Amino acid sequence: MDDVKEILVKYSSIIKKEIDDSLSNIIPKDLNNASIHLTNAGGKMLRPSLALLTAQVVGGQEKDGLKVGAAIELIHTFSLIHDDIMDDDDVRRGQAAVHKVWGEPLAILSGDILFSKAFELVVSSKDSLGCDKIVNSLDTIAEACIKICEGQALDMGFEGNFDVNEDDYLDMIFMKTAALIAAATKIGAIAGGANDNEIEILYDYGRLIGLAFQIHDDYLDLTSDEDSLGKPIGSDIAEGKMTLIVVNALEKANNEDKEVLLKILKDENNSDEDIKIAMDLFNKYESIDYANKIAKRYVEDAKNLLDVFDDSDAKNILKLIADFVLIRDL
Amino acid sequence: MDDVKEILVKYSSIIKKEIDDSLSNIIPKDLNNASIHLTNAGGKMLRPSLALLTAQVVGGQEKDGLKVGAAIELIHTFSLIHDDIMDDDDVRRGQAAVHKVWGEPLAILSGDILFSKAFELVVSSKDSLGCDKIVNSLDTIAEACIKICEGQALDMGFEGNFDVNEDDYLDMIFMKTAALIAAATKIGAIAGGANDNEIEILYDYGRLIGLAFQIHDDYLDLTSDEDSLGKPIGSDIAEGKMTLIVVNALEKANNEDKEVLLKILKDENNSDEDIKIAMDLFNKYESIDYANKIAKRYVEDAKNLLDVFDDSDAKNILKLIADFVLIRDL
């Protein structure tokens, strides 16, 4: 995994410069500060790095994916800022959330301006990429943004709705999480000069690792330790959040166990004992293993998709990144 | 003005159909409902109508401006939804504001998805308009969106800041209001096949009528009657809002009058008598006349810009619309 970390460190510094250039002339000063708050707070820049890599795996150059990749990171940042307002989350990337520092109005605006800047950034590479690639890239970003909004609305609608089945759940995490990662791998392919078939394959690669990431994120909530997770183990259970593990357990459980689990999920004041009972049920029905297996299958499928491409450093890194999503979050 | 109203009624129905098509497949249902709430609540659709007209004035067809114009209306609607959250306004177009019906999270999301749909809509006319026009249009929209965000942030920053001078004020209303109207007239020109010079002229036409509209809006607040305004006369004074009239009066007033006016503007509980004193000061320093003259000059300048184009019905309507902004709001 050292190769992955090394390449992410290298890429994140050149992508960060691109983002800083794009945001430097925002006025007034407080909107500028609010807009750069999260991009200055770190972040592994995995999405734009994927764009740089998919540009190369199809025979293009690193720089082809730079502006379009940076645009994806701006979209990601915009969605984090607005999500934190919607969920009233206090902390993001170890910093106070934007709306906690500048208030909701300026946080809404900073999200909106990052969104706008993403499109400006793509258009700014018109001369180097050419008109067709730009339109294709903008279409890709617009489609991903629509899906992100729909996925977030679906996720909010799932709260307190325990009839969600596995397909509903997978559709939701595709829209909310995987669509933008897939947009990143697709947009890099477009910029790198891929043909339609290659573009489709790399979109699918992104979709699969995106799904695996989200499922793994839910898995970590139950199996990690509190220090590395940054929140109490089982907080998803406490919040009654629908995850693949919960969906699977509810589908498999006998009536008695299902009733116990639903009571815990609906309870807003779970004890540690409640969390343990839920965990025991997940183990009884092998739901944690099930989710883990699904995530691993997605990762293997994603890696296999890359076989059509000629061997290259970029291809190796893309395979490693697929494994990486089951080790650390994006 | 009947010609203007007739053309707006005709255009708004075909633009509305375009918008309905674009928004029809949004999921889930509550996000869909929140997203179509304002577009179903009426609205004169002046911005997209301007795009249809500028497409024709440069020799293109009505339909050339249709999708790009509808995209501008989506951007306008997105900005209204987010502005209403920021200002916590209850009513828009005679209906409850989106966040009052569906709550802030879904209102933020519905704004975001309209924003995304605007870009999707422009890209969808790629086959009819061609790649270059699409990229130019998307660039125009992205630039306008950036300005809208900056203008809204500047406007919020002006609250309680009575050192704002005329240039600051005009810059702010250009960004907040005129930039999107200018984008509409520019995007129609692009779609209609205008050359660079014609595009620039029609952008400027939109900018000037946009400035005139905003100045006239502030003027109406003081000189209209409560029934047609839908809010008490002088509410801008009561709220201490910076308008061209206020900026002008503060620049011209002697120290004693300035102190009186500032006290009223800073007071959150003005009496009718206070409003009358402020009005008397605006009259004493001829600031209402001044603002009115500036707005009229912008309108005349806008109309004169159209002289370079061949005579046409579209050109006549564009001249009438310039006058129209000083009669009714957009």
Q: Which residues contact A109 (CB under 8 A, 6 or more apart)?
A: A31, A34, B82, B86, B149, B152, B153
Q: Is residue A329 part of a domain?
A: no
Task: For residues A35-41, give the mean pLDDT.
Answer: 96
For residues B215 and B209, give the distance between their C-alpha atoms in angstroms, rounded to a whole number. Answer: 10
Supply the pLDDT for residue B234: 77
DSSP string, B170-226: HHHHIIIIIHHHHHHHHHHHHHTT--HHHHHHHHHHHHHHHHHHHHHHHHHHHHS-H
Give the one of A26, A112, A134 whose C-beta lies nearest to B135's C-beta: A134
Residue of B nearest to A152 (CA): B109
Structure letter (DSSP) for residue A230: S
Q: Is A257 part of the contact surface with chain B (CB cutoff 8 Å)?
A: no
Task: For residues B147-152, give the mean pLDDT.
Answer: 98
The number of domains in chain A is: 1
Distance (Å) from the alpha carbon of A30 to chain B's nearest alpha carbon: 8
Distance (Å) from the alpha carbon of B79 to chain A's nearest alpha carbon: 9
Domain hosting residue B281, numbered range: 2-324
Please say if the pLDDT value at position A233 is more than 80: no
Would the CB atoms of A116 and B31 count as touching at under 8 Å?
no
Lowest mean pLDDT among A5-19, A221-235, B228-242: A221-235
Distance (Å) from the alpha carbon of B327 to chain A's nearest alpha carbon: 31
Would the CB atoms of A123 and B134 count as touching at under 8 Å?
no
Distance (Å) from the alpha carbon of A223 to chain B's nearest alpha carbon: 31
For residues B161 and B242, give the distance between their C-alpha atoms in angstroms, rounded to a whole number. Answer: 8
Q: Is residue B278 part of a domain?
A: yes
Q: Is residue B329 part of a domain?
A: no
Q: Is residue A330 part of a domain?
A: no
Task: For residues A44-70, give the mean pLDDT.
Answer: 97
Would the CB atoms of B131 and A132 count as touching at under 8 Å?
yes
For residues B305 and B135, give the distance between their C-alpha atoms in angstroms, rounded to a whole number. Answer: 26
Contacts of B27 in chain A (CB under 8 A): 150, 153-154
Q: Is residue A250 part of a domain?
A: yes
Would the CB atoms of A145 and B116 count as touching at under 8 Å?
yes
Q: Is A88 part of the contact surface with chain B (CB cutoff 8 Å)?
A: no
Q: Is B145 part of the contact surface with chain A (CB cutoff 8 Å)?
A: yes
Confidence of residue B230 (pLDDT cuts 50, 70, 90): low
CB of A60 closer than 8 Å to CB of A191? yes
Q: Is residue A72 part of a domain?
A: yes
For residues B15 and B74, give the distance between their C-alpha atoms in angstroms, rounded to a whole number. Answer: 11
Supply the pLDDT for residue A330: 41
Residue closest to B84 by CA, chosen among A108, A153, A82, A110: A108
Which helix (H) or strand (E) element contains residue A313?
helix A313-324
Supply the pLDDT for residue B328: 65
Task: For residues B284-307, give the mean pLDDT.
Answer: 97
Residue of A nearest to B125 (CA): A135
Angle CA(A242)–CA(A244)–CA(A246) in degrees, nearest 5? 55
List, for residues A171-201, the tens digit of each pLDDT value. Answer: 999 999 999 999 999 999 999 999 999 999 9
Please say if the pLDDT value at position A32 is more than 80: yes
Would the CB atoms of B157 and A30 count as touching at under 8 Å?
yes
Task: For residues B245-269, give the mean pLDDT.
Answer: 94
- Distance from the Cα of residue B197 to its chain's centroid: 24
Please say if the pLDDT value at position A80 is more than 60: yes
Q: Is B135 part of the contact surface with chain A (CB cutoff 8 Å)?
A: yes
Residue closest to A189 by CA, chosen among A59, A304, A7: A59
Rg (alpha carbons) of chain A, rounded to whole number: 20
Residues 154-173 of A with CB under 8 A from B: 154, 156-157
Residue of B nearest to A31 (CA): B153
Contacts of B138 in chain A (CB under 8 A): 119, 123, 135, 138
Q: Is residue A8 part of a domain?
A: yes
Contacts of A126 in chain B (CB under 8 A): 135
Tokens, residue B82: 């987010």
List, for residues A297-319, the tens digit of each pLDDT value. Answer: 999 999 999 999 999 999 999 99
List, for residues B47-84, the tens digit of each pLDDT value. Answer: 999 999 999 999 999 999 999 999 999 999 999 999 99
Q: Is residue B177 part of a domain?
A: yes
Rounded to a whole number of angstroms, the distance between the first and last alpha carbons of chain B is 14
CATH, residue B280: 1.10.600.10
Residue closest to B17 by CA, chosen among B48, B59, B50: B48
Q: In terms of C-beta density within 10 A (0-12 exposed, 13-18 middle, 19 or more buried), how is residue B177 classed?
A: buried
At B91, is the secondary structure helix, strand, or coil? Answer: strand
